[in-house]
Amino acid sequence: MNYFNTHTHQFSNQADVLELVNQYPQEFDASIPNYSIGIHPLFINKNRLESDFQILEEKLALPECLALGECGLDKRSETPFEEQQYVFEKQLVLAEKYRKPVVIHCVAAFQELIQSKKKLNITVPIIIHGFSKKNELAKQLIEAGFYFSFGKNLLRNPELESVFKNIPNYRIFLETDTIDEGIQEVYALAAKYKNISVKELQEIVNKNYNAVFESKTNL
């Protein structure tokens, strides 16, 4: 594969793109070949948590499930934060059990995110999708062992260039999330910001994929 899309909500089925398609337990589509699955902090439903976690466990055990997520913490959610933390940390424990990396949604709760990772001694890779914050926070997250996925905000916010350039190459991934642009456009801008060719960037991301997702075959 030439491109890896770390987080998308739409399966485009392009021959040269490996897509990690986001899925939710109650809306699972078995026709999607590679996916992540998780309970999003905006969509926590106490009445179905038991069945959600049952579905999560079933899917995490399958090879086509490449990661857990998106899940995380969101202080703008109407769900009480303590409840979010309970659901999130329970998912982290499952990721550790099944040795699957985690795709993170985080809004205004990065310190709590770092604390949860440390408290639970999580050793599987954790990727913060759609990263859009400042260099100071990025440095903290790098030191705490997190990976970063860039997409929409990289295309929309020129000020993010300096942050992206300062992220070590071995910690970066790229995504489209819900934007109309293709992953190829994200790679093109990311390569420009890193002052390397798209081919060189592809090699970097492929290497990161094989390290994080423990792929038995190279992209």
Q: What's the Cα-to-Cα distance from 181 to each of 2, 61, 95, 157, rounded to whole Å?
A: 17, 32, 30, 15
The DSSP secondary structure of 126-171, one letter per residue, reads: EEETT----HHHHHHHHHTT-EEEE-HHHHH-TTHHHHHHHS-GGG
Q: Is 129 annotated as a binding residue?
A: yes
Q: Could you tell me if 73 and 109 are in contact, meaning their C-beta atoms sit under 8 angstroms apart?
A: yes
Phi, psi of 10, deg, nearest 5? -130, 125
Q: Is 105 annotated as a binding residue?
A: yes
**Cβ atoms within 10 Å, residue 134:** 11
Q: What's the Cα-to-Cα distance from 155 to each of 17, 41, 141, 198, rounded to whole Å?
A: 19, 25, 22, 16
The position carrying tokens 């303590």 is 82
Q: What tokens appear for 138 in the block?
A: 């990025």
Residues of the binding site? 70, 105, 129, 177
Residues of the binding site for a divalent metal cation? 70, 105, 129, 177
